[in-house]
Amino acid sequence: MEEEKVRIFIMGKAYEVPKSLTIMKAMEYAGYQFIRGCGCRGGFCGACGTVYRMPDDYRLMVGLACQTVVEDGMYLTQIPVFPANKATYDVEKLRPGLSDIVKLYPELTRCLGCNTCTKACPQDLDVMNYMAAAMRGDITKAADMSFDCLMCGLCAARCPAETVQYNIAILTRRLYARHVAPRAKHLASRVGEILDGAFDQSLDDMTKLTRAELEALYNQRDIEPE
Amino acid sequence: MSYTPKMNEFIQAVEATRQRRYDERHARLSPEEKQQLLEGFHPDYRPDTMRPIKVGVSKGAVMPHELVDVLESWSRLDPDKFPLDKIDCDVDVLIIGGGGAGASAALMANAAGANVLLATKLRLGDANTMMAQGGIQAADKAHDSPNLHYLDVMGGGGFANKPELVKALVYDAPLVIRWLEDLGCMFDKEPDGTMVTQHGGGTCRKRMHAARDYSGAEIMRTLRDEVRNREIPVLEFSPAVELLSDGEGTCRGAVLMNLETKEFFVARAKTVVVSTGGFGRLHINDFPTTNHYGATADGLVMAYRLGGRLVFLDATQFHPTGAAYPEQIVGLLITEKVRGLGAQLVNIYGEQFVYPLETRDAVSSAIIRECLERKKGIVTETGQPGVWLDSPMIEKIHGEGTILRSLPAMYRQYARFGIDMRETPIIVFPTLHYQNGGVDIRDDTRVTTVDNLFVAGETSGGVHGRNRLMGNSLLDVVVFGRRAGIAASERARHVKPGPLSLAHVSRYHEELEEAGLAKDKISPILLPPYTRYQSVPGADPAV
């Protein structure tokens, strides 16, 4: 059975492709072998940010090529990489507040509040408002709101203030996790035990057990309840 | 998208039996039945899915056809003619592969003062690490211990694991969680800082740490950010296509290729770390896969030509429930929790055919049998087989709202394509998930049979034995990536650079000729052949 086709325009050139395909598979169907613009193929890596327009619609649409199904008349191009300002820093030496963020990314304050970044986010994140949180120095909120960011770069590509939202976002997340969230005490004490050699002998002994001895221990181990 | 009219007809059969199945408990397999099922249908047990390799240091070892195909292939380079006199980069430590293991290795080697170059095929961070959702194991709570973690890893791996590697894995686990916490990796925590930890399949303690359901992505983007902060040189879109040697069994660098311009570069290094990931995109036995685009076994191929011994590559992990429809998400993982909450596996006649919580290998085999032998599965428009996973049963058992509460990400994934898994069942088929085996290494990641070569992450074999547990792959890449960076930079201090050679490739080619193998194949393949004009049968159901 021949599947129904739709006509799409890949960087301006028309191709007939099966209508059930994602943009990514449609481009492969058309004959493109990806070098750029293709990564995990599962919606996690942000390699395949795509912008497109539909006929008779002035709006610019966005999507991940691996997660977006083709539609008849779709006129698309990928933006696999976008020139972006990335500050370098030693997260340990920073303080979790506005002043260090602005030192690293002074353009943060140029935000116009136009909300174009939010409209450009294929993850449907509230980009403008996590930027607003960053501008207030609310690291916790910026980190939380930006957590699902794939760093695809479409927000930065559309920003009239030329900020790089996703790089500011990862800075806030690292600041939050390093300086705001309380450290795990149980982790610190286990690390101390390990470095003191508390498990050296017993683990060494385990590596010398026979298969039968290991199996017996394995079958005897108690399971922590759900 | 939603379902086709034919599928909707089948759904009626599933609905018609739901009340009956609500009270029905499918019999568990007896040990004999299970063995029979595995031998008949699990790809690992089927002799027709594998063959012994005819050349190389592991000659005679049995591995999947698709892997043997790329191992029994010719180099991209003519080893007798390729010029090695012009050295384009000269470093202490060359790291090949930019996933979790490569990035961890780069950070540790850099911290040790080594001159590091990281070369990767796609972008830094384009790797399976980025896709891991579930979490990372570490025995860091008072009622847990590295010893219990050790037992779990061994039991999961069929007690075949290499003990020194398992010891390294569980010993370093709390240390790497601490390292990641220091780097500002946003783990799920209680308000007082206590790590939120859960069970995974085969764990005796709740030691699965997570970062929502973006655990791997959070770890990978933190490591990537740190590599950039330290300004470690990274060459993207520059895969290695061959390792360089001293002519014998010592590694001295690699030939890199600019993937876009096809220009070759000679990279000389005192030590080399290979961390290129696994073989998911070879589509072993024609299975769809959960893996990243770049998972084409490049590191296995290159290390093997230089004499790296391969272990446990006859054991492949298939996850029983990968999405089989809609097309957009074929191969993606449907978490085991769906079955845990009571969703049953059902054929097109509305009948159960296996107890849903048998071990992963048995459930996978039963689904394959139902589809391919008994022909009681669905075949989608793209030719993808599958069976029903009756998700509405979850709400019937636990009450309305359970799916939104317990499986929100899963719900959204299907809702995106017009499928409401609260109302209609979903279609699943086993999916190729993980390469259990790989290059044989010691606990500092040095390759047992090649000097100055280190291998970390999915490319290596032994730590997981024949079967890896959930939460131990993220752990593997960070633990052994760090160890590789430390060991390779330390070793580099004692290595004097010497002349470069591809003589090991010439010898490998001679072996291929002696074995009478055709000259039509080249590897590493670098990119899977997915366009309409490239032909690998079954590589992609859409093509």
pLDDT in tens, B144-198: 999 999 999 999 898 999 999 999 999 999 999 999 999 999 999 999 999 999 8
Q: How far is B247 from chain A (nearest CA, A)?
A: 33
Instruction: Let me know whether B325 and B417 are in one domain.
Output: yes
Residue B226 included in any domain: yes
CB pair distance less than 8 Å for B130 and A44:
yes
Question: Are both A129 and A155 inside the same structural domain?
Answer: yes
Contacts of A67 in chain B (CB under 8 A): 328, 416
- For B301, residues 6+ apart whose C-beta sits below 8 A from its C-beta are B70, B71, B73, B523, B524
For residues A33 and A104, membership in a common domain is answered with: no
Q: Are residues B346 and B281 in the same domain?
A: no
**What's the total number of domains in chain B?**
2
Distance in Å, alpha carbon of A66 to nearest chain B alpha carbon: 7
Boundary of a domain, candidates B410, B432, B454: B432
Is the domain of A168 the same as that of A195? no
Are A161 and A106 part of one and the same domain?
yes
Establish if B491 belongs to a structural domain: yes
Interchain pair A178, B540: CB under 8 A: no
Q: Indicate the pLDDT class of residue A151, thresholds 50, 70 and 90.
A: very high
Residues 192-211 in A contacting B (C-alpha not used; CB under 8 Å) = 194, 199, 202-204, 206-208, 211
Phi, psi of B25 (to 5 degrees): -120, 115
* Domain identity same for A165 and A104: yes
- pLDDT value at position B436? 95
**Selected catalytic residue, list B42, B252, B319, B464:** B319
Question: Do A103 and A171 share a domain, yes or no?
Answer: yes
Average pLDDT, chain B: 93
Tell me if A35 and B170 make a contact (CB, 8 A cut-off).
no
Mean pLDDT calculated for residue range B488-499: 96
Using a CB-CB cut-off of 8 Å, the residues of chain A touching B174 are 187, 190-191, 194
* Average pLDDT value for residue range A172-186: 98
Please give the pLDDT value at position B29: 86
Tell whether B166 and B232 lie within a shared domain: yes
Establish whether B205 is a catalytic residue: no
Same domain, B254 and B367: no
Segment B222-225 long-range contacts (CB within 8 Å, at least 24 positions apart): B222/A170, B222/A174, B222/B180, B222/B183, B222/B184, B222/B185, B223/B100, B223/B103, B223/B104, B223/B107, B223/B125, B223/B183, B224/B103, B224/B124, B224/B125, B225/A170, B225/A174
Task: Quickly state the pLDDT bin for A42 (edges 50, 70, 90).
Answer: confident
Distance, in Å, from the CA atom of B336 to the CA atom of B333, rounded to the nearest integer, reads 9
Q: Are residues B247 and B353 in the same domain?
A: no
* Cα–Cα distance, B121 to B116 (Å, whole number): 17
Question: Which residues between 45 and 74 in chain A have a beta carbon less than 8 angstroms from any beta carbon of chain B?
Answer: 45, 47, 66-67, 69
The alpha carbon of residue B334 is apart from the nearest alpha carbon of chain A, in Å, by 12
CB contact under 8 A, B214 and A44: yes
Q: Is residue A206 part of a domain?
A: yes
Across the interface, of A177, A190, A224, the residue whose CB is closest to B185 is A177
> Given this model, what pLDDT does residue B1 score?
55
Spell out which residues of chain A touch residue B382, defining contact as CB-CB under 8 Å.
Answer: 20
| B292 and B387 inside one domain | no
Q: Residues B100, B180: one domain? A: yes
- Give the model's pLDDT for residue B539: 46
In a shared domain, residues B492 and B408: no
Total structural domains within chain A: 3
The mean per-residue pLDDT over the stretch B38-55 comes to 91
Q: Looking at residue A33, which CATH number applies to its domain?
A: 3.10.20.740
| Cβ–Cβ pairs < 8 A, chains A and B | 225
Among A residues 121-160, those touching chain B with beta carbons less than 8 Å apart:
143, 147-148, 150-151
pLDDT of residue B538: 46
Residue where a domain terminates, one of B432, B457, B479: B432
Is residue A20 assigned to a domain?
yes
Q: What is the least distance, in Å, from the CA of B462 to any CA of chain A?
A: 14
Contacts of B186 in chain A (CB under 8 A): 143, 147, 173-174, 176-177, 181
At A113, which CATH number?
A: 1.10.1060.10
Whether B542 has a pLDDT exceeding 70, the answer reads no
Contact (Cβ atoms closer than 8 angstroms) between residue B450 and residue B290: no
- Given A78, A105, A125, which residue is the final one in a domain? A78
Q: Are residues B331 and B475 in the same domain?
A: no
Residues A54 and A102 both lie in one domain: no
- The structure tokens 């370098």 sit at A88
Q: Determine the residue type at B78.
A: D
Domain-located, residue A70 = yes
Are residues A63 and A117 both part of a single domain?
no
DSSP A81-116: ----------GGG--SSHHHHHHH-GGGGG-----H
B183 & B222 share domain: yes
Active-site position among B224, B339, B360, B446: B339
Model confidence pLDDT, tens digit, residues B236-268? 999 999 999 999 999 999 999 999 999 999 999
Whether A83 is covered by a domain: the verdict is: no
A38 assigned to some structural domain? yes
Asked whether residue B140 falls in the same domain as residue B213, the answer is yes
Q: Are A108 and A172 in a shared domain? A: yes
Q: Determine whether the interchain pair B163/A206 forms a contact, defined as Cβ–Cβ distance below 8 Å.
A: yes
Q: What is the pLDDT of residues B91-147, one digit of tens each?
A: 999 999 999 999 999 999 999 999 999 999 999 999 999 998 878 999 999 999 999
Residue B517 has pLDDT above 80, yes or no: yes
Where would I find the H helices in B278-375?
298-305, 337-340, 360-368
**Nearest by CB: A69 against B147, B221, B328:** B328
Instruction: Report the C-alpha gap between A132 and B48 in whole angstroms.
Output: 60
User: Would residue B525 count as lying in a domain?
Assistant: no
Q: CB distance from A16 to chain B under 8 Å?
A: no
**Helix ranges (DSSP H) in B184-275:** 215-229
Q: Does A3 touch chain B (CB under 8 A)?
A: yes
- Distance separating alpha carbons of residues B242 and B254, to the nearest angstrom: 6
- Model confidence at B543, pLDDT cuts 50, 70, 90, reads very low
- Is B150 contained in some domain? yes
Which among A22, A88, A184 has the least Cβ separation from residue B181? A184
- Residue B446: inside a domain, yes or no? yes
Do the Cβ atoms of B326 and A1 come within 8 Å? Answer: no
Nearest residue in B to A20, CA atom: B327
Q: Which of A38, A151, A175 sits opposite B293 (nearest CB)?
A: A38
Higher pLDDT, B409 or B163: B163
Are residues A161 and A96 part of one domain?
yes
* pLDDT score at A1: 52
My answer on whether A98 and A172 are in the same domain is yes
Distance from CA of A161 to the nearest CA of B (A): 23
B chain contacts of residue A191, beta-carbon cutoff 8 Å: 140, 174-175, 178
Domain boundary at B432, B455, B476, which? B432
Q: Do the Cβ atoms of B125 and A66 come within 8 Å?
A: no
Answer yes or no: do B221 and A170 touch at CB < 8 A: yes
Q: In this structure, is residue A71 part of a structural domain?
A: yes
- Contact yes or no for B273/B108 (Cβ under 8 A): no
To the nearest whole Å, the CA of A139 is away from the closest chain B CA by 13
Q: What is the mean pLDDT of residues B398-418?
A: 83
Same domain membership, residue A166 and residue A189: no
pLDDT of A21 strictly over 90: no
**Are residues B130 and B201 located together in one domain of the fold?**
yes
Residues B186/A173, Cβ–Cβ less than 8 Å: yes
pLDDT, tens digit, 9 for 90 and up, residues B323-341: 999 877 888 888 777 888 8
| CA separation for the pair A147, A169 (Å, rounded) | 8
φ and ψ of B311, to 5 deg: -130, 150
A20–B131: do the CB atoms touch at under 8 Å?
no
Domain of A120, in residue numbers: 91-180
Tell me the CATH number at B455: 3.50.50.60
In a domain, residue A226? The reply is: no
**pLDDT interval class at B537 (50, 70, 90):** very low
Determine, yes or no, domain membership for B510: no
In a domain? residue B471: yes
A150–chain B nearest CA distance, Å: 8
Q: What is the pLDDT of residue B541?
A: 39
Q: How far is A21 from chain B (nearest CA, A)?
A: 7
Residue at A225 is within a domain: no
Best residue in B531, B534, B540, B543 for a mutation probing chain A (most A CBs within 10 Å): B531
> Which range of residues forms the domain containing residue B108?
89-315+436-504
Judge: A207–B164 Cβ closer than 8 Å, yes or no: yes
Contact B292 A215 (CB under 8 A): no
Is B130 contained in some domain?
A: yes
B388: domain CATH number? 3.90.700.10
Residue B240: beta bridge partners? B256
Examine the residue annotation and report whether B509 is marked as an active-site residue of this protein: no
